[in-house]
Amino acid sequence: MTQPEEKKTRNRSKIKKVRNILLKIIGAIVIAIVLFLGIVYITNVISSNSEAKRIESYGQHVSVDGKNMNVLIQGEGKETIVLLPGYGTATPALDFKLLIDELSPFYKVVAVEPFGYGLSDETEKERTAENIVSEVHEALQQLNINRYMLMGHSIAGIYGVDYVNKYPDEVTAFIGIDSSVPTQPSITDAKFPLKTFALLRNSGLLRLMMKVSADPYDGLAFDDQTVEQMKIISNKNMYNPTTLNEMDHIYSNFKGAHDLTFPKNLPLLLFVQANNEGVEGWIPLHEEQIKDSVHGKVITMDGSHYLHHTQFKEIAENFRAYMEGIK
């Protein structure tokens, strides 16, 4: 073998060794990823089964379309407030707890957990505003609740404006807690990555992400037991098929409500986040909503989108003063 041939042979041998090392490294990485995902998945299954046994029931079940909708009723006041949650609020009745505790000494407070939320069943029925509104109304009918004030957070502003127009003889006032506005410019027809969200949920990666994320309840006035239950039920409900279907209908639900307005003579009180930087003209959008209302009022508040987590006392006090003022 000549010297050049020996050199070529040595080079080929070196390349082969490097290639084998790279293949082993890649193989080890792939195996590590598979093992990691397997551990995450198994941990999620075990944790879900364990947590299901630790969920403490609250409220009562009402039969709607052959399924159970969970409703919490607190207080014995003559007037009734019906609370509706924002999109993705996994445990509505517990999420509203601080506000409910402030309102219930004076009112009968009814927190409705739509299908896919809290301790309610899921449903395969499309999450159109029409269906959601109809289901909430049916739950109230089952409970013989026929006259009430509607108080809603976030996207409940969209369902709420539909609701009050469908059942004007039942709703005596609408109160928004940083409620969505049909004309807000931030809503587009861009498609959400629903399959990705479903994969995150089913693989257990969503649980891991929530585990390593900042505690959303840190520093709030919730007691430890309530926080634990909210976290457990959030793990159960987050990105479930029902709420993903609702996500898929967000644009069409906003579009369907675009030309709807609150009735002129309906008392309309809107608590609005003062420093919302995510939606252009957030306060003017709400001021536009009340401009033709006989009893319309906007109250701005400092805080996050979940104003009722920190401003629950102020919301209750301002609401009571407002209702007294229009009598």
Report domain extents, the chain: 1-53, 60-325
Residues 6+ away with beta carbon under 8 Å from 133: 159, 162, 163, 166
Burial of 2 (0-12, 13-18, 19+ CB in 10 A): exposed
Above 80 in pLDDT, residue 3? no
Region 6-22: mean pLDDT is 69
Above 60 in pLDDT, residue 235? yes
Quickly list H helices, 204-290.
205-212, 224-237, 241-248, 250-256, 282-290
Res. 244 pLDDT band, cuts 50 70 90: very high
In angstroms and rounded to an integer, the radius of gyration of the C-alpha atoms of the chain is 26
**What CATH number was assigned to the domain covering residues 60-325?**
3.40.50.1820
Looking at this protein, which amino acid is placed at residue 285? L
Burial of 265 (0-12, 13-18, 19+ CB in 10 A): exposed
Q: pLDDT tens, 177-213?
A: 999 999 998 887 778 999 999 999 999 999 999 888 8
- The region, left, alpha or beta by phi > 0 then psi within -120 to 50, assigned to residue 204 is left
pLDDT given for residue 95 in this prediction: 98
Above 90 in pLDDT, residue 8? no
pLDDT given for residue 9 in this prediction: 58
Region 148-170: mean pLDDT is 98
Kindly report the CA angle at 322 between 321 and 325, in degrees rounded to 5? 85
Region 46-67: mean pLDDT is 95
Tally the residues of the chain. 327
Distance CA 127, CA 111 (A): 19
- The region, left, alpha or beta by phi > 0 then psi within -120 to 50, assigned to residue 107 is beta
Query: What whole-number percentage of the chain has pLDDT above 90?
Result: 83
